[in-house]
Structure 1
Amino acid sequence: MDFHISTAMQLTATITLIIGMALAFTTSGYPRNLQYPIQLWVRGLLIQPFSYALLSMREQIPDWLSIVVANTLLVVSFTLLIQALREYNHRPDRRLAFIVIILLAAAGEILLTYVWPSLQGRIILISLILSIVLLYGLSAIYRAPGPITQPEHLVAIMLGAAIVIMLTRAALTPSSSSIFLTTSSIMQGVVFTYASLMPVIATSGFLLMCGERMNKDLTRLATLDPLTGVFNRRTMTELANKAIAASKRHGRALSLLILDIDHFKRINDQFGHEVGDLALCRFVECVGEVMRESDILARLGGEEFVLILPDTNEKAAISLAERIRKHLCDSEFTVSGWPLPLRASIGVGSLGPAMSNLETLLRETDHAMYEAKRAGRNRIFAASAIRRQSSLDIDPDGATP
């Protein structure tokens, strides 16, 4: 039984239109950072049916509609789909390149319809142009930073298969002048069967990609401080308890720094909370330039931060704290061209008999940080020094002088 090409085109147009309209109603339910890529994808889906509808009416409507406009719209729809992938993965904007490709497609279709009429030429031209556009999509997926997810692999497989089909179609198109676009053949059957499946599978893959991105964003929001990007207090507690348990199990040292930005209230009062937020971010940046990859930085709240140092004894922790203090002093932070110094008082605590769990380690290190404040700020104070001082203040009979 012959494959009825016009019916296949109309079916493809209907399926694509339904998918595009259904997706259009769900766009607003996605986070703002995903709405624009999804909107581009929807536009691509909604334009594609008009292309297939016009192609299916070949010989019934003027050539400029069924050939030039139809094929140009097909290229436009695919560029929008690929642009959606590029926006999703934050790849460089190729809008200008896509506009040039669309114009070349339109010009080529005009020439091969009215100047040098050739169905074979038009099929080869559109097949090659769509293959180039789809290659931009593969690049958007496989040259993106970070690991490639399974849904991205699915979309890439669909794009890769489409490229193979387009190039095969271009290579196998006969040169006979008697062929028609709606002529039934095995190649035509493959092309339009795939055209009807691709919107369904590729859109499913794209929505799965968006779902995974949403899950990652929710996980990040649950574990990180939204302003500074470091771990929040809840996550810090979980990570610190795990680090303490590992240190006890393997008999390794562990230390902790509590860092408090000096005169932070003055920064907020004089320059406003926006500048205060910038100061917090700059402070985190400076600490990050000194800390090791294995260290864990978290925001306890306000202008107070904690730095967990696995495999680090008190002496090494004090040395690191001093490097952080000096780096802050040497770093620049300006407001409207005026330098604004960032300084910190730092308390140092180490895991040991007197501080054997996270609660006591945080409490004693916090006391050490406040001692650094009382001693004049921009200083480092160790919790062990407080304990030694306390022991010196007690007489042999246990009474304080």
Structure 2
Amino acid sequence: MSFDPLTIWSVVLLIGLMLSAVMVLAWTVTPDEPALLYWAAFCAILVTGIAGIMARGVIPDFVSISLANALVLLGYGLIWVGLRVFDRRRPRLGYTLIAPALWIVLCELPLFRDHIASRIVLGSSFMVVLVLLAFVQLWRGWVAPSKVRPVAAALLGISITMSLLRIPFAGSFVEGDSLRLMSDPRYLWMGLLAISLLILVGFTLVMLVRERTEQTYRTAAQRDPLTGLLNRRGFHAEAVPLCRRGGALALMLLDLDRFKQVNDRFGHAAGDRVLMAFGEALMLDMPGTGILARIGGEEFAVLLPGLRMPAARLAAERIQRNFAEGLERLPTPGLPIHCTVSIGLASGELTPCHTDTHAEAALHQMLKRADAALYRAKSAGRDRIEIVVLRAEDFRA
């Protein structure tokens, strides 16, 4: 059973409409991702333009040539707009009208009005520019680890290559005053390639949204909603790879002194404000490589790579000072809140670990020693910093 090119391009139209419907359906599930609507419009407008091109000879030439191809270019532009919206940037829809408007104007010139090959070169050039814009936006927005973006970039690269290849072979696509792509069986493969590329691009764009949704849920599961710091699970997930790399490490376990009295005297709302103030105190003057977490009710942990004594102690002292200053600015009715922090500080030089198991064991030893130091700080009167320096053999204990 064989298919003529016109049948294949009709399948392209059907698939494009189905992809548009799938994206609209996906948007109803994730309405906070409006990029899906732009990509749905890309599919719908693209197939409308292709349908107009296929209807040449049935409808007026101005519609099948100028307007239909302008719609195709508009569809390509919406890929770029959707990627901008996906990366939380302004859509700039007006820019997507430039290429379609230029196409309509230039098609009135004899060079393009009377020569199909010239129009193929012009349209392909516009497509290259539009898809290249989408590729650049995809690359610029790649700020988080992603498995889908490389696939999307590869597909856009293939689309750019296809458009570029049409330019030197534009004359071979023309026979008299007709476009052979829609009638010559030798170009059947181009329709099949268009189907494959459209399906892959459509589902890759949907997968981009799904990937970020999963990342958002994963991040939320590893964050303390009150302070915005990592929770115990998030701390462990980030601390183990850091321990595996080895090097100098400083680990603080911090506990707010007499925090229960704050809740009993001022209420839990005031207690929450104290916890948030302490979270802010941790983030002040803290290096970007540090791992900050709330691992319990009023218990916190800070892991600092590359810090040795006494730099680690100075960091602990800054936390105490920043917290005290933050409490002074905290709006509370009646008497001021008195709350201090006790810190157990462990530091050591880790050798690189070959497995996560060894890294987890090293982290466990640091937590154990820092917890013992914290207990001494609490027992010695609170609002203190107790220090323990680990030796290489301590990590093998």
State the secondary structure of the residue aligned to 2:221: helix
Shift of 1:88: 2.5
The reply on whether 1:157 has 2:160 as its aligned counterpart is no
Aligned ranges 1:89-128 → 2 under 5 Å: 89-90=87-88, 93-109=91-107, 111-112=108-109, 116-128=113-125
Q: Which amino acid aligns with 2:210?
A: G
- Work out whether residues 3 and 185 of structure 1, in 8 Å CA contact, stay in contact via their aligned partners in 2: no
The answer for the alignment partner of 1:391 in structure 2 is none
The answer for the alignment partner of 1:297 in structure 2 is 292
Q: Which amino acid aligns with 1:21?
A: A
The answer for the alignment partner of 1:390 in structure 2 is none
Shift of 1:365: 3.1
* Stretches of structure 2 lacking an aligned partner (at least 5 in a row): 348-363, 388-397
State the secondary structure of the residue aligned to 1:16: helix
Shift of 1:287: 2.8
State the secondary structure of the residue aligned to 2:143: coil
The answer for the alignment partner of 1:218 in structure 2 is 217
TM-score by length of 1: 0.70
Identify the match of residue 134 of structure 1 among 131, 136, 141: 131
Shift of 1:330: 7.5
Name the CA distance, whole Å, in 2 between partners of 1:342 and 1:124.
74
Distance 1:83 1:311, change over 3 A: closer
Distance 1:308 1:22, change over 3 A: closer
The reply on whether 1:146 has 2:143 as its aligned counterpart is yes
Distance 1:356 1:370, change over 3 A: same
Shift of 1:346: 2.2
Q: Which amino acid aligns with 1:119?
A: I
State the secondary structure of the residue aligned to 1:171: coil
The answer for the alignment partner of 1:256 in structure 2 is 252
The answer for the alignment partner of 1:233 in structure 2 is 232
Point out which structure has higher relative CO (alpha carbons under 8 A, 6+ apart). Answer: 2
The answer for the alignment partner of 2:203 in structure 1 is 204
The answer for the alignment partner of 2:340 in structure 1 is 345
State the secondary structure of the residue aligned to 2:34: helix
Name the CA distance, whole Å, in 2 between partners of 1:94 and 1:332.
45
The answer for the alignment partner of 1:387 in structure 2 is none
Q: Which amino acid aligns with 2:20?
A: G
- Work out whether residues 48 and 74 of structure 1, in 8 Å CA contact, stay in contact via their aligned partners in 2: yes
State the secondary structure of the residue aligned to 1:291: coil
Distance 1:69 1:285, change over 3 A: farther
* Stretches of structure 1 lacking an aligned partner (at least 5 in a row): 374-379, 385-401
Shift of 1:238: 7.0
Name the CA distance, whole Å, in 1 between partners of 2:319 and 2:132.
47
Name the CA distance, whole Å, in 2 between partners of 1:262 and 1:113.
86
Q: How many residues are matched?
A: 360
- Work out whether residues 328 and 342 of structure 1, in 8 Å CA contact, stay in contact via their aligned partners in 2: no
Distance 1:142 1:359, change over 3 A: same
The answer for the alignment partner of 2:50 in structure 1 is 52
The reply on whether 1:381 has 2:368 as its aligned counterpart is no
TM-score by length of 2: 0.71
The reply on whether 1:288 has 2:283 as its aligned counterpart is yes
Q: Deviations over 1:249-293 (max 9, x none)?
A: x9x985424264999979xx99x99x959x93x764553342345
Distance 1:330 1:68, change over 3 A: farther
- Work out whether residues 262 and 337 of structure 2, in 8 Å CA contact, stay in contact via their aligned partners in 1: no
Name the CA distance, whole Å, in 2 between partners of 1:225 and 1:112.
63
Name the CA distance, whole Å, in 1 between partners of 2:167 and 2:18.
29
The answer for the alignment partner of 2:301 in structure 1 is 306
Name the CA distance, whole Å, in 1 between partners of 2:153 and 2:55.
31
Q: Deviations over 1:291-322 (max 9, x none)?
A: 34554311246776432457878865542222
Q: For the aligned residues, what is the CA RMSD? A: 4.8
Structure 1 vs Structure 2: percent identity of aligned residues?
Answer: 22
Aligned ranges 1:361-372 → 2 under 5 Å: 362=371, 365=374, 368=377
Q: Deviations over 1:218-264 (max 9, x none)?
A: 22112122454421134346777x69x99xxx9x9854242649999
- Work out whether residues 10 and 52 of structure 1, in 8 Å CA contact, stay in contact via their aligned partners in 2: no
Shift of 1:195: 2.2
- Work out whether residues 255 and 300 of structure 2, in 8 Å CA contact, stay in contact via their aligned partners in 1: yes
Distance 1:104 1:147, change over 3 A: same
Shift of 1:141: 2.2
